[in-house]
Structure 1
Amino acid sequence: MSLNSRVIAALGAVVVVGAATVGTSVAIASDQTEHSSHRATLTVGNSSIAADPLCFNGGSAITEDLQQECQDKATQALKDGTLPTSDVVVSDRIGVGVTPNVGDTGWWAFTNGGASAGGQGGRYSLMNYAKGTTFSGSQSAGKALNGSGKTLVTVVEGDKNSDNPIAVWYFQLNTQDS
């Protein structure tokens, strides 16, 4: 009987410590992350990075003036190395995901390279315009990378019948030797 009491007491202590750990983890996580309704995620192999849009006009269409500012901002971020970045090898698989409300609006994703572009800075589609879908599917990185070793991934939220996007994300893929 006393052995059972000790086992029960020990299990109780483990449950109390475990519950405290889970509760603390949830509290810490809730302080460190903020929900964003406009996020895109780039998945490379078994890892992923999520980002808020580099260009966003509060959910309204980005005007032509703001689009130029966005391109300038992206160019500077690329030079400064401040874009969300992931290393990639040719044998990796890559994909892009968006939050459900971005999927509801409509979106597409592409790179500035790929085999069909001769690796010289063309455009390779990771996701043709889609509405209601939140993931591009996994594709061979080798098909999407450009020859420079640094491939830009662009994700755009918007209505296909409008010239003005609602949000734009940029990610950089750095090609590594296998």
Structure 2
Amino acid sequence: MSLSTRVIAAVGAVVVIGAGTVGGSIAYASGKDQPSDRRATVTVGRSSHEISAPFCGGTGTALTDEEQAKCQADAKQALADGRIPGSDVVVSDRIGVGVTPKVADKGWFAFTNGGSQGQFSLAAANKGATFSGMVPASTALLSTGKTLVTVVEADPTSQAIYSVWYYQLTTKDA
């Protein structure tokens, strides 16, 4: 059995096109930025939502008092404008927060502006741990239906703040 010249040419063309596609894909991918090593994830029920970039900070240097004040003001405006990422939650869900190992090595904490005391701690001064664990959403949510989750990369010893992420939970009926 012999291969015709047309078949050999067709196979050769497929190989050349395939190699070009792979080579182009590698060149394209190598020009892309690496994912941030400072990310937070909010888990709601069985869904996880990654917040890839901190709202403030993320450079590895501590935020000044002025930068922290600006961050809070900017976050308040972003919340009013609907620019804070978020998802729906039902009171029967469980919620948790995770961070990348780089954030965990520095230290972090997380809280909501809800709960019976007006603020609910999801993770208190964790260092080394990358996940807060899951808590009942009913204990951490505001009764108004909109609850803000705040995740802060901070050194528990010096209290210096390095990064801040925000995520909004909207309470839906089950």
TM range (shorter): 0.7 to 0.9
- Equivalent residue, structure 1, for 2:39: 39
- Contact kept in structure 1, 2:38 and 2:58, CA below 8 Å: no
Report deviation, 1:148.
Answer: 1.0
- Contact kept in structure 2, 1:156 and 1:169, CA below 8 Å: yes
The letter of the residue matching 2:138 is: G
**What is the TM-score with the length of structure 1 in the denominator?**
0.78
Aligned pair count reads 149
SS at match of 2:79: helix
Report deviation, 1:146.
Answer: 0.8
SS at match of 1:82: coil
- Equivalent residue, structure 2, for 1:90: 91
**What is the TM-score with the length of structure 2 in the denominator?**
0.79
Report deviation, 1:32.
Answer: 8.1
SS at match of 1:136: coil
Report deviation, 1:65.
Answer: 0.7
Distance in 1 (alpha carbons) for counterparts of 2:80 and 2:64: 24
What is the RMSD computed on CA atoms of the aligned residues? Answer: 2.1
Among all aligned residue pairs of Structure 1 and Structure 2, give the percentage whose two residues are the same amino acid.
55
Report deviation, 1:161.
Answer: 2.5
- Equivalent residue, structure 2, for 1:173: 169
The letter of the residue matching 1:81 is: G
Distance in 1 (alpha carbons) for counterparts of 2:159 and 2:69: 13
Distance in 1 (alpha carbons) for counterparts of 2:158 and 2:81: 31
The letter of the residue matching 1:96 is: V
Q: Among residues 149, 156, 166, which one is paired with 1:153 in the alignment?
A: 149
Report deviation, 1:47.
Answer: 1.1
**More off after superposition, 46-55 vs 160-169:** 160-169
Report deviation, 1:73.
Answer: 1.0
Aligned CA distance change for structure 1 residues 57 and 133 (closer, same or farther; 3 Å): closer
- Equivalent residue, structure 1, for 2:50: 50
Report deviation, 1:97.
Answer: 0.3
SS at match of 1:42: strand
Segments of structure 1 that go 5 or more residues without pairing to the other structure are 1-19
